[in-house]
Structure 1
Amino acid sequence: MNRRAPHGGGARALAAGGAVAALVAGLVVAPIGGAPTAAADTCQPSVTAVPQTAAVPWAQTALRYGDLAPYVAPAASGARIKVAVVDSGIDVSAPQLAGAVDVQDSVSLVNPATYPPTADALGHGTMVAGIIAARARAGVAVVGMAPSVVSLLSIRTYQVCESEDAPIAAGILQAVQRGAKIINVSAGSPTDTPDMASAVRTAQAAGVLIVAAAGNLGAQQDGDPLQYPAAYPGVIAVAAVGSDRTAAPYSEHGADIGLAAPGGTSDAPLLGVGPAADGTLASGMGTSFAAPYVTAAAALVWNRYPSLTAAQVRQRLYETADRVAADAPDHSYGWGIVDPYAALTSVAAPAPATSAPPVPAAPLTFPVVSQRPDLTGRTLAVGGGGLLSAGGVAGVAWLARRRKRDARLTAARSALTASERTDPGTTDEIRGERRHVG
């Protein structure tokens, strides 16, 4: 399916068979303190390890997490909103995700015996899951937006490389079959394939809301190519903003953008849950990590207003969004930055899903982020004792080497001819565009 990597991070492109061979040959690096192998450099984790901290992440301040408490109690029925994370797995050994994942109903579509849905060599799916449902932990300010109202399904569609030909369409169908009401897809492809379109139609016919990352080629490729499933009608395509409330330079633009949410920048990345049994945190940036803020907001709305349809939940998020552009919808922000508090407290009945949302009264106030956190030189073995907790593979080191990768990527792009830069047929491998930010 020529599937592109999760939008939050990047890795050198490998054929599917090559990715498996690399793993068998020692792709995963040594435990803490070990030097990475040459093979590991071709397929690096999506997130960077960060020590535990009591500092409140700027994204939580910006979205007024502190105001949400009165509105996040589980529904009277006691049923939690099932949210599927179609991604690289969710590491259930992470302390803040204990009890957040429906392990029995989760599934791996990539050799589950070796790559179970409850492990995550990339760290990508775990950070996405944490933004939605991380539990509170003493001494750590990182917390999910909707931990009390959701039950996560891990639908694993990646092994260890973001460049794999991941079965995202099949993952969407599996999520529907397992009763998900919301599906978060922090991945995509520039190709509108019949199987992806069919999977999205099936989900929408079942009343499921799909939230998808808009893509990270905004500053890398002219034209901001449409990304699927984000570009399909009815899917909420999520763009990214930085801590200054403006569109992140990598975030893609277009008429398909529905909402924006915190995605982070190199100076102010996002802070989240890492795939580690000792509770080490993760840092990353990308539209991959903007999407789950919208997913969590949708879950809170559905929990509070259970009679709404998927289209009405989407519309409520649109009409209560914090307008950034004067003439919404805007190609950078869609209807604006998601505002979960406004979506939960608005007394207006949801308008028909085809009408233009009105302008809300109170804008969000983003905090001033004065300096970049210390993200340098730290490695982490995933799981306890240097072993991948559920996969039986040697520990994965998180490599804080983004600047080096970015420099190589810039050099590769500079070597392209003018025709290669504008030719949509140029492959991802030549362009290096599988090396997404984050």
Structure 2
Amino acid sequence: MSGVGGLDGVGGIRRFGGLRRRWLGAGGVVVALVAGFVVAPVGGLPSAKADDCQPSVTPVPLTPQVPWAQTALRVGDLAPFSTSGTKIRVAVVDSGIDVAAPQLAGAVDVADSVSLVDPKTYPPTADALGHGTMVAGIIAARARAGVGVAGLAPSAVSLLSIRTYKTCESEDAPIAAGIRAAVARGAKIVNVSAGSSTNTPDLASAVSQAQAAGVLIVAAAGNLGAQQDGNPPQYPAAYPGVVAVAAVGADRTVTTYSEHGAYVGIAAPGGSADAPLLGVGPAGDGTLASGLGTSFAAPYVTATAALVWSRYPTLTAAQVRQRLYATADRMASGAPDASYGWGIVDPYAALTTVSTPAPATTPPPVAPSPLSFAALPVKQDFTGRALAVGGGGILSAGGVAGAAWLARRRRRGVRVG
């Protein structure tokens, strides 16, 4: 088992959100580490280790608790903007999407989804790892009675599952082919919660072709940000024009594992060991999943982009990206910052701030955003609650964290367009 952003090889595609956890039962403690997701470099032939063939997320009992990330991003305020407008086709290039999950019923265009890794054995609508399903749920999970988990843009998107993984976390992953397949099937946004520290011509070409077709690519910035992991640039996140997403915790601080550099465009909730994210699990009984990583920060930005494009359908991909950056919740006076990019994604501001779309080549304003933060963060205490009631305690603490995050915002003045 790897530590945060641990490496088992060099240059391969890594999934940036898979967790290895021990589930100790009711009243127990959930122990979490980010697994360094590794597959072969393009054309390589590594062998998968036995302990790699495990789910990337952890099963969590159903709970009515609203996850902290949803509270922090004001998901409840987005309802007026998510039920009308153009439906946006969003491709999830990942480990598949389990369409049996109740909260994803009707969310996936099954007919147009595709598996690039033996579709008969590994169909696009199943997901042994759980990674792609949790990503999909952050974007489009339907509301469910008695369950607090919900997606940001369930009514604004039609998902495509582009499966590029089988069942293990050490395998060759055709990400470039996945991007091309998504574009060929009409995707306007492609979510790639994986990356490679090797800049390959094939991947660069796939990204360039997608952008030429007017497609917006949102990618995880990577989980190798800790000093011991070297913080190597990750691709496709580091390519020009790609929205590279860093991860923040419940205290709005960039996580230690999140990669940083000039290519980072924006940040979003990615979770930490004491406050992981909660999402949809790959199970027909509706069991939830818990995870952390930039993998799961990226779909919050993808969903926000889809909502913006649905409401403002005449925007170009570059203008959607511009709007995300311009309305982000600033975390550094000299934005863009190498850790946060232009700030933390703010879906409500992106949808309601009245502005004339800027030319695609115009950089976002450097002036402070209307959103500002308290000088002294409120310290969050998750450990006591987690030890007291196990997994449920972590979920409860997450809700408190989200409320605290939201409470630390000053009221902003925006005009609803």
**Which range, TM-score by smaller chain?**
0.7 to 0.9
Identify the residue that residue 63 of structure 1 maps to in structure 2: 73
Identify the residue that residue 158 of structure 1 maps to in structure 2: 165
Identify which range, 190-199 or 7-16, moves more after superposition.
7-16
Q: Is 1:132–2:139 an aligned residue pair?
A: yes
The correspondence for 1:371, drawn from 372, 382, 391, is 382
Which amino acid counterpart does residue 319 of structure 1 have in structure 2?
A
Provide, for residues 333-388 of structure 1, a one-character-per-residue CA deviation record: whole Å limited to 9, x for no partner: 0000000100000111122233332332124799975425769999xxxxxxxxxx
| Kept after mapping to 1: 8 A contact 2:271/2:293 | yes
Which amino acid counterpart does residue 100 of structure 2 have in structure 1?
S
Identify the residue that residue 95 of structure 1 maps to in structure 2: 102
Q: Is 1:7–2:16 an aligned residue pair?
A: yes
Q: Report 1:22-421 matches (<5 A).
A: 40-75=50-85, 79-221=86-228, 223-358=230-365, 359-363=368-372, 370-371=381-382
- Cα distance, 1:114–1:344 mapped onto 2, change above 3 Å: same
- Structure 1: distance between partners of 2:275 and 2:298: 17
- Structure 1: distance between partners of 2:78 and 2:229: 39
SS at match of 1:68: helix
- Structure 1: distance between partners of 2:320 and 2:378: 28
Of structures 1 and 2, the one with the larger relative CO (CA 8 A, separation 6+) is 1
Identify the residue that residue 400 of structure 2 maps to in structure 1: none
Identify which range, 158-167 or 319-328, moves more after superposition.
158-167
- Cα distance, 1:5–1:161 mapped onto 2, change above 3 Å: farther
Q: CA deviation at 1:223?
A: 4.4
Alpha-carbon RMSD across the aligned residues, in angstroms, is 2.3
Identify the residue that residue 401 of structure 1 maps to in structure 2: none
- Structure 2: distance between partners of 1:202 and 1:13: 26
- Structure 2: distance between partners of 1:209 and 1:220: 31
SS at match of 1:111: coil
Percent sequence identity is: 73
| Kept after mapping to 2: 8 A contact 1:62/1:367 | no
Which amino acid counterpart does residue 124 of structure 1 have in structure 2?
H
| Kept after mapping to 1: 8 A contact 2:189/2:218 | yes
SS at match of 1:83: strand
| Kept after mapping to 2: 8 A contact 1:4/1:163 | no
Q: CA deviation at 1:73?
A: 1.9
Q: CA deviation at 1:162?
A: 2.3
- Cα distance, 1:165–1:374 mapped onto 2, change above 3 Å: farther
Q: CA deviation at 1:42?
A: 3.3
After TM superposition, the score normalised by the length of structure 1 is 0.77
| Unaligned runs of at least 5 residues, structure 2 | 1-9, 19-34, 392-417
- Structure 2: distance between partners of 1:377 and 1:65: 26
| Kept after mapping to 2: 8 A contact 1:56/1:142 | yes
- Cα distance, 1:341–1:364 mapped onto 2, change above 3 Å: farther
- Structure 1: distance between partners of 2:382 and 2:99: 31
SS at match of 1:250: coil
- Structure 1: distance between partners of 2:36 and 2:335: 35
SS at match of 2:172: coil
SS at match of 1:239: strand
Q: CA deviation at 1:72?
A: 1.4
| Kept after mapping to 2: 8 A contact 1:62/1:364 | no
Which amino acid counterpart does residue 94 of structure 1 have in structure 2?
A
- Cα distance, 1:226–1:312 mapped onto 2, change above 3 Å: same
After TM superposition, the score normalised by the length of structure 2 is 0.81
